[in-house]
């Protein structure tokens, strides 16, 4: 399958987390492009996808090869490297990328300290530059937010010239299982929808994964507060406002696709603000400050005006 795609593979220098964010105009891009191995590296394979290249790169990194050497060795095993596009970053943050001459234009890549950004069949040459700038500008953020912002920037700059269908965000920390693995497989505005799903996952999934068994620690039990949260129905959990309620994208009837895309774009821009508002609303500050109650039946003193 030809996955004409824009993506970023990256490492967080603070936590050592490895991740990939990717979007495409084909379904289920998250099931075919990202490959991550804890403590080894993160790879995204696209264009005419060859998943074995990603697996061979990870094997090479695990065997001690540098990122560019692992990439070159893997490409030597492929009879059509001209059709492939690869981006990777190793556990130390060294990045490498490849864009074959047969990839559909616009196609290209850019690597930097801790990241590789790549894309093909892009709507505009500025997609990659926009992703790089967004990722670098978010240096103070956690990896999930930096990857999400890079994907949004690429989407805003035009993304895949055929349109939009799927998006994914995958992050691995120290365990063999991902700490975050989110996918939107069939949607008119997949990047915007991925932002919404991320807001829910931060409140409901991330605490659950944090309490899961670890390789080198006693398994133990899920923390009581997390277990209690997950025993509630989805609509009663923290972050439920991000998951529930009417979806304006589904309520719009008869509008052209570009209008729906514009609404999705606005959703993506305001999603971080709305997520922060929901977080603030859920805070329990009773122990810090007693509640202030206005009772109109009480005789309040009128303050004289000058």
CA-nearest of 98, 22, 108 to 53 is 98
> Does a structural domain hold residue 158?
yes
DSSP state of 235: G
> Does a structural domain hold residue 217?
no
Tell me how far apart the alpha carbons of residues 240 and 232 are, in angstroms, rounded to a whole number: 11
Q: The domain that contains 80 carries what CATH number?
A: 3.60.20.10
> Does a structural domain hold residue 96?
yes
Domain range for 20: 2-190
Q: Which two tokens stand for residue 66?
A: 């540098």
> Does a structural domain hold residue 201?
no
- Phi and psi, residue 248, nearest 5°: -55, -30
Tell me how far apart the alpha carbons of residues 122 and 113 are, in angstroms, rounded to a whole number: 24
> Does a structural domain hold residue 244?
no
The burial class, CB within 10 Å (0-12 / 13-18 / 19+), for 72 is middle
Q: List the chain pLDDT tens, one digit each, 306 residues.
A: 555 689 999 999 999 999 999 999 899 999 999 999 999 999 999 999 999 999 999 999 999 999 999 999 999 999 999 999 999 999 999 999 999 999 988 999 999 999 999 999 998 889 999 999 999 999 999 999 999 999 999 999 988 766 789 999 999 999 999 999 999 999 999 999 999 999 999 989 888 888 888 888 776 666 666 666 666 677 656 666 555 444 444 444 444 545 545 555 565 566 667 666 766 666 656 566 655 555 555 555 555 665
Question: Phi-psi bin for 159: left (phi > 0), alpha (psi -120 to 50), beta?
Answer: left
């Amino acid at each position: 399958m030809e996955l004409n795609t824009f993506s970023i593979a990256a490492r967080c220098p603070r936590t050592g987390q490895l991740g990939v964010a990717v979007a495409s105009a084909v379904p289920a891009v998250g099931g075919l492009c990202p490959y991550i191995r804890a403590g080894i590296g993160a790879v995204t394979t696209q264009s005419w996808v060859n998943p074995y290249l990603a697996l061979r790169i990870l094997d090479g990194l695990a065997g001690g090869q540098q990122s560019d050497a692992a990439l070159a060795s893997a490409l030597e095993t492929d009879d059509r490297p001209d059709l492939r596009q690869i981006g990777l970053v190793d556990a130390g943050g060294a990045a490498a990328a490849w864009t074959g001459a047969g990839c559909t234009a616009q196609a290209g890549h850019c690597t930097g300290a801790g990241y590789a950004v790549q894309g093909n069949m892009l709507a505009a040459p500025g997609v990659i530059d926009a992703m790089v700038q967004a990722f670098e500008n978010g240096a103070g953020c956690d990896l999930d937010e930096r990857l999400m912002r890079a994907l949004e920037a690429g989407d805003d700059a035009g993304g895949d010239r055929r349109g939009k269908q799927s998006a994914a965000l995958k992050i691995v920390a120290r365990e063999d299982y991902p700490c975050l693995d989110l996918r939107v497989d069939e949607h008119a505005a997949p990047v915007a929808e991925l932002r919404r799903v991320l807001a829910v996952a931060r409140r409901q999934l991330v605490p659950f994964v944090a309490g899961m068994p670890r390789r080198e620690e006693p398994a133990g039990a899920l923390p009581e507060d997390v277990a209690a949260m997950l025993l509630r129905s989805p609509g009663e959990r923290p972050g439920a406002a991000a998951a529930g309620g009417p979806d304006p994208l589904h309520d719009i009837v008869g509008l052209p696709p570009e209008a729906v895309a514009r609404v999705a774009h606005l959703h993506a821009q305001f999603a971080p603000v709305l997520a922060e508002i929901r977080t603030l609303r859920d805070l329990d500050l009773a122990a810090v400050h007693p509640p202030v109650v206005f009772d109109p039946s009480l005789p309040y003193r009128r303050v004289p005006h000058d």
